[in-house]
Structure 1
Amino acid sequence: MVTFGPSKDHSYPSLTRKLLPWTFYAIIPLVFVRLYFYPCPLPHSNPILISSSLPPSTLEEESAKETPCDFTSGDWVPDKWGPLYNGTTCSTIKEGQNCIAHGRPDMGYLYWRWKPKHCNLPRFDPNTFLQLFRNKHLAFVGDSMARNQLESLLCMLASASAPELVYRDGKDNKFRRWRFDSQNITISVYWSPFLVKGVEKSNAGPNHNKLYLDHVDERWAADMNVFDLLVLSIGHWFLHPAVYYEGDSVLGCHYCPGLNYTEIGFYGVLRKALKTTLKTAIERRGRVTNGKGIDVIVTTFSPSHFEGEWDKFGACPKTEPYQEGEKSLEGMDAEMRKIEIEEIEAAKLSAIQFDNLRLEALDVTKLSLMRPDGHPGPYMYPFPFANGVTERVQNDCVHWCLPGPIDTWNEILLELIKGWEYQSIKEE
């Protein structure tokens, strides 16, 4: 057997120690010759980073403003931080949307964030919002989704400054107003489920709504001259039975058996209602000469997520978001969104001649479609299963828990406003 052990010959390490210094001395002249004839180019400097004292995160945000972010395409990703508020820290949550206080057992729906594909959506900064709206009046007008978004915003702002309720009126306090005195900010909500003039169905009268499509609802429009930002939200009430009027004649109806009117559906009616509303805003505020303008934002249709009967257990049972590709935007949800986007774009063209009027869509349809887990479901009432699962239980698979996915709408709202502010500064 042949074995290998340590060598007894130490001449090789000794020779290495002698040659190494001479090798080093020989290389130095070669390096100087190489640099003299072939100098290395310096790395390109970034003049923005050198000249600016802003932190990198701020610089990235400033750069991003040059190219508006597309918030419509993205994914819901896990978020360890959770919401700015909860069911006990905010006093303005409507009872039916306070899912935590009503005993919803799973909390996972609170720990997701919307991540656009090609940009970042910053977390909501209440102090930034309050600073941008100093001395201004913001109004939410529309149906219960407008109210849902308003109450989300109030809760987010209350994490920095508490609002004071200064006015309320109407059944279920459908007309309310809050003040942030330190910033001189007013935030109002106006119930107007069609935006145009309407007579809502009642137990004492006809079982259908009446809409007058060529007249805006003056319950809110009469105050339009005091608004700085108007956020409009409609859609779900157009699914109810209704008779439609234009001028002095009946245009048609939607689901009106027993009445001698032509069935025309509701898509065209939604379009006419938006057209009348935006046209009125342009006419009343675009032509003012005192310099006071208005911004108008239309929040697009928010899909519901009923998977069964509204009054049975498991109507909207999901506890996590849909993943990309798992749920498509189609059918009524897609059509309602399409109409709203098209009408806001048409209004932009009509208003292009006015410098004091800006219009935009707050496109939340797809990101909302992907959150079947964010509704109150049976927890629209306190502890619905305290005595076990009953045969019938009412579910809300339309509105959103607070806190919940709807908070993202207001994160995007703030980014739209910041973008407008940035553009205004650039143009000065």
Structure 2
Amino acid sequence: MKGVRWSRFRGRQYSYTLAVLVITTVLLWSWEENPVITIVSDEGQFLKPPSECNYAKGRWIADNRRPLYSGTKCKQWLSDMWSCRLTLRKDFSYEAYRWQPEACDMPEFNGSQFLRRMQDKTVALVGDSLNRQQYQSLMCMITGGEDRPEVENVGRKYGLVVPRGAVRPDGWAYRFPDTNTTVLYYWSASLCDLEPVNMTDPATEIAMHLDRAPAFLSRYIDQIDVLVLNTGHHWNRGKLNANRWVMYVGGKPVKDRMLVQIGNAKSFAVHSIARWVDSQITLRPQLKAFFRTISPRHFYNGDWNTGGSCDNTMPMLHGSEVDQDESSDSVIESAVKSTRVKILDITALSQLRDEAHMSRYSLKTSDGVHDCLHWCLPGIPDVWNEILYAQL
């Protein structure tokens, strides 16, 4: 009788153990297929997973671990004109802040890890001088501001050489040999294809094709793995006239009175390039594309002698927090909404940092003219790259 009871007990125990193993296996399989990870901050706050984060919403906080590289080094990548440490500026408190998204885990930027993530890939920043600043910032962040003589200049591979009569090429491209990672910048202020109307006339007007991607992108998009676009500040009548740009759509000059208005033309071009990039993602799903929102400028419209926001050197004078859910750049937000192009939303958080511009310390500044558009480096563009890094 004891033997029978023991046998039944062992049978029930075996069945129970088997059931536990089966349930555990199913749960593990389910977790691997759909992992749910709960991250808690040091303050006990539950953090959102990266896919749910709005990195544009948050606050600036002091961080004595900043800046991420030296403003007196990084001469291999950083232009002297954007290194405020090489100017007469005395206050550098703007360097000692980092951006903390609301309820999100913001990973620390790590240059070596970035290169490992981008192994055998090409990262391209295409846009105006603000994207050039972001590019120089990224190169300094990857290298920690240290000289890297082994990094190879591969600009010629992309046609990035100094044209005859020009001061500099239309961009730069460098390859990190250990990971075969290429990081490049191409200047395209409008993100439109530009084509001389009369090839034989040096003073010819330039057709600005609002519905065509820049020729550089059309040619090299199949070699790009991560693309960061921007445009904005060249969309004004003065710039168009100075560059002799004439709007074209469908291969013909624009006659529509509504479309030739600068705001409408910009919106048309931005939506056009976003749709075109989305079509390229269809052909190459591994392509990751980002459209950076406009970088705010802080020009003062009054009397410079009385000071202005661009002359301010006090961090967070106008607040430190962004609590809005929508982007401050509605044009870019609208353009990417129905595409697989992601928004790199930096406008509102940068708007709070008027003290971090070149201001009167720019090497190119003449008396009475301040650079309230470009940023000191190290500085705000570093944060743009941190957010890019997080979204990757």
Where on the TM-score scale, by shorter chain, does this alignment land: which range? 0.7 to 0.9
Change (3 A) 1:128 1:65: farther
Q: Deviations over 1:339-361 (max 9, x none)?
A: 1011111223xxxxxxxxxx210
- Separation (CA, whole Å) in 2 of partners of 1:232 and 1:326: 26
Letter in 1 for 2:343: A
Aligned partner (choices 337, 341, 365) of residue 333 of structure 2: 341
The percent of aligned pairs where both chains have the same amino acid is 27
Whether 2:291 is the aligned partner of 1:298: answer: yes
- Separation (CA, whole Å) in 1 of partners of 2:321 and 2:114: 34
Uncovered stretches (5+) of structure 2, i.e. residues with no partner: 1-26, 29-36, 197-201, 241-245
Structure-1 residue corresponding to 2:349: 367
- Separation (CA, whole Å) in 2 of partners of 1:309 and 1:85: 36
Change (3 A) 1:251 1:166: same
Letter in 1 for 2:134: Q
Whether 2:154 is the aligned partner of 1:166: answer: yes
Whether 2:311 is the aligned partner of 1:317: answer: yes
Aligned partner (choices 112, 116, 121) of residue 136 of structure 1: 121
Aligned partner (choices 76, 82, 85) of residue 60 of structure 2: 76
Letter in 2 for 1:246: V
Aligned partner (choices 248, 253, 256) of residue 250 of structure 1: 253
Whether 2:205 is the aligned partner of 1:212: answer: no
Structure-2 residue corresponding to 1:403: 378
Structure 2 counterparts to residues 19-418 of structure 1, below 5 A: 60=40, 64-65=48-49, 68-91=52-75, 92-159=77-144, 162=148, 163-167=151-155, 168-170=160-162, 171=166, 172-198=168-194, 205=203, 210-241=207-238, 242=240, 243-251=246-254, 264-288=260-284, 293-308=286-301, 314=307, 316-319=310-313, 320-324=315-319, 334=328, 337-348=329-340, 359-381=341-363, 392-417=367-392
- Separation (CA, whole Å) in 2 of partners of 1:221 and 1:310: 46
Change (3 A) 1:325 1:185: closer
SS of equivalent to 2:380: coil
- Separation (CA, whole Å) in 2 of partners of 1:321 and 1:252: 46
SS of equivalent to 1:113: strand
Larger Rg: 1
SS of equivalent to 2:264: helix
CA contact (8 A) 2:311 2:355 kept: yes
- Separation (CA, whole Å) in 1 of partners of 2:211 and 2:67: 41
Q: Deviations over 1:288-317 (max 9, x none)?
A: 5xxx63111001111101114799895611
Length-normalised TM-score, structure 1: 0.68
Change (3 A) 1:249 1:187: same
- Separation (CA, whole Å) in 2 of partners of 1:263 and 1:371: 34
SS of equivalent to 2:383: helix
CA contact (8 A) 2:71 2:378 kept: yes
Length-normalised TM-score, structure 2: 0.74
CA contact (8 A) 2:95 2:378 kept: yes
- Separation (CA, whole Å) in 1 of partners of 2:306 and 2:74: 29
CA contact (8 A) 1:127 1:160 kept: no
CA contact (8 A) 2:49 2:104 kept: no
SS of equivalent to 1:96: helix
Structure-1 residue corresponding to 2:4: none
- Separation (CA, whole Å) in 2 of partners of 1:228 and 1:131: 14
- Separation (CA, whole Å) in 2 of partners of 1:194 and 1:301: 12
Q: Deviations over 1:112-131 (max 9, x none)?
A: 11122323423322122111
Q: Deviations over 1:360-412 (max 9, x none)?
A: 10000100111101111122218x7xxxxx8x243211111110011000110
Residue 236 (structure 1) shift: 0.6
Report how many aligned residue pairs link the two structures: 328
User: What is the RMSD computed on CA atoms of the aligned residues?
Assistant: 3.4
Moved more, 120-129 or 295-304: 120-129
CA contact (8 A) 2:63 2:96 kept: yes
Uncovered stretches (5+) of structure 1, i.e. residues with no partner: 1-46, 49-56, 254-260, 349-358, 385-389, 418-428
Change (3 A) 1:144 1:240: farther
Moved more, 212-221 or 398-407: 212-221
Q: Deviations over 1:195-222 (max 9, x none)?
A: 111369xxx848x874211222112321
Residue 66 (structure 1) shift: 6.0
SS of equivalent to 1:270: helix
Q: Deviations over 1:88-128 (max 9, x none)?
A: 22121122211111231101111111122323423322122
Q: Deviations over 1:226-276 (max 9, x none)?
A: 0001110111111244442212443259xxxxxxx7784222222221222
Residue 149 (structure 1) shift: 0.6
Change (3 A) 1:362 1:58: same
- Separation (CA, whole Å) in 1 of partners of 2:380 and 2:50: 27
CA contact (8 A) 1:133 1:185 kept: yes
Change (3 A) 1:325 1:131: closer
- Separation (CA, whole Å) in 2 of partners of 1:328 and 1:306: 24
